[in-house]
Amino acid sequence: MSSLLKGSRKLLLGIGLAGAGAAVWAIMGGDEDKAFIKASAFYDHYINNPRYFYEPPVSHKWDFNWDRRQSDTLMKTLEGKFRADGDKNASKEKLQKAKVIASRHLLFIRHGQYALNGKTDEERTLTDLGRQQAYFAAQRLKELNLPYSQIVQSTMTRAKQTAQIISKELPDIPVSSSDLLREGLPIVPEPSSYKEVDNLRAFTDGPRIEAAFRRYFYRAKPDQKEDSYEIFVCHANVIRYFVCRALQLPPEAWLRFSLHNCSMTWIAIRPSGRVSVYTVGDCGFIPSGKLTTN
């Protein structure tokens, strides 16, 4: 052991976490590989302070009433109303009709590549490549052959142009616009290099983007008997924030992943209040040579 410590060979010590926090280490060297190594100051530091390098995540239970439309709560309210009205016989039938049975599917398409040198929104139009990307997205939506009920577009030029190309492939789907879906800074991300301007932007953009989430994210209404599918054409920051909010993750984590232009993010809202994310930034339908993230 002493020959190893006094020799010129380097000691490689790796510490990892397994199970409840077991440490594993390896020694580079001949016969000393099987020898017991006394803890170095580095080793002592991490073993005595395991949370220095690993902090167990805080467990948060799922809030089933995140959209304030939880069925159990509504059922109890209706049942109480029926009984108060003396309608005990019809209460079961009415309660069954009031039960949510369908899922809402929200398909978000990020706009195509656009001219970054434009000084105004009107000048930030899709590039030729951006139009191609939009066409590929349109073809993918068409191939899915789902019963789309609407296309909602951001009012920014690049989103409207992308939605227009998609609409040509899905001509029977009504199109509407929403200022709430415009690009912005939903919340100062973490981690991030803090800037005062970011704080100001988040202060003004954040409430609008949160309003968009509350406007479009909710479980189906009781009178909806079949699953619905809606297309939204908007922006990367908005979509990433929606994913975090829908999954009840820290919203400031939105900048920790990226979305390609015209990629598709598919989110389903179940009758129970559960949320399933089928895809985030799916771009497999776009040729690899035509992928961009600007």
Report which of 224, 268, 275, 266 is spatially closest to residue 62, judged by C-alpha positions: 275
d(CA 262, CA 265): 10
d(CA 118, CA 101): 47
Report which of 208, 124, 106, 107 is spatially closest to residue 161, judged by C-alpha positions: 124
**3-class state of residue 18 by DSSP:** strand
As a whole number, mean pLDDT of residues 244-260 equals 96
Which residue segments constitute the domains of the chain, with CATH numbers given? 2-52 (no CATH), 63-99 (no CATH), 100-290 (3.40.50.1240)
Q: Are 66 and 267 in contact (CB under 8 A)?
A: no
Q: Give yes or no for residue 87 having a pLDDT over 80.
A: no
Percent of the chain with pLDDT over 70: 70
Report which of 155, 75, 78 is spatially closest to residue 122, judged by C-alpha positions: 155
d(CA 58, CA 190): 17
pLDDT confidence of 193, banded at 50, 70, 90? Answer: confident
| pLDDT confidence of residue 9 | 43
pLDDT confidence of 69, banded at 50, 70, 90? Answer: confident
Report which of 241, 209, 214 is spatially closest to residue 66, judged by C-alpha positions: 214
For 196-215, the pLDDT digits (tens) are: 778 899 999 999 999 999 99
pTM of the model: 0.76
Let me know the angle formed at the C-alpha of 278 by 267 and 103, rounded to the nearest 5 degrees: 50
Q: Are 230 and 104 in contact (CB under 8 A)?
A: yes
Of 227 and 72, the one with more pLDDT: 227
| pLDDT confidence of residue 114 | 98
For 115-150, the pLDDT digits (tens) are: 999 999 999 999 999 999 999 999 999 999 999 999
pLDDT confidence of 235, banded at 50, 70, 90? Answer: very high
